Chain A
Amino acid sequence: MSIQDFIRNEVTSNDVVLFMKGSPQFPQCGFSGQVVQILDHIGVPYKGLNVLESLELRDGIKQYSNWPTIPQLYVKGEFVGGCDIVREMFQAGELQSMFKDKGLATTTVA
Chain B
Amino acid sequence: MAMDAGEIERLIKAALPDADVTIRDLAGDGDHYAASVVSASFKGKSRVQQHQIVYQALQGQMGGKLHALALQTGTPEG
Q: Does B14 contact A (CB under 8 A)?
A: no
Residues of B within 8 A of A89 (CB): 47
Chain B interface mostly: mixed
Q: Is A88 an interface residue (CB 8 A)?
A: yes
CA distance A89 to B51 in the complex (A): 14
* Interface footprint category on B: 10 to 19
Closest CB-CB distance, A51 to chain B, in whole Å? 12
Complex contact B62–A69 (CB within 8 A): yes
Quick one: given A62-B63, A85-B47, are A67 and B72 in contact (CB under 8 Å)? no
How long is the Cα–Cα vector from A98 to B70 in the complex, in angstroms? 23
Min CB gap B29→A, angstroms = 14
Q: A88-B47, A89-B47 are in contact. List 20 more A-B contacts (CB 8 A).
A: A31-B68, A62-B63, A67-B48, A67-B51, A67-B55, A68-B55, A68-B62, A68-B63, A68-B64, A69-B62, A69-B63, A69-B68, A79-B48, A81-B51, A82-B51, A84-B51, A84-B72, A85-B48, A85-B51, A88-B72
User: Which residues of B line the A interface, CB within 8 A?
Assistant: 47-48, 51-52, 55, 60, 62-64, 68, 70-72
Interface residues of A (CB under 8 A from B): 31, 62, 66-69, 79-85, 88-89
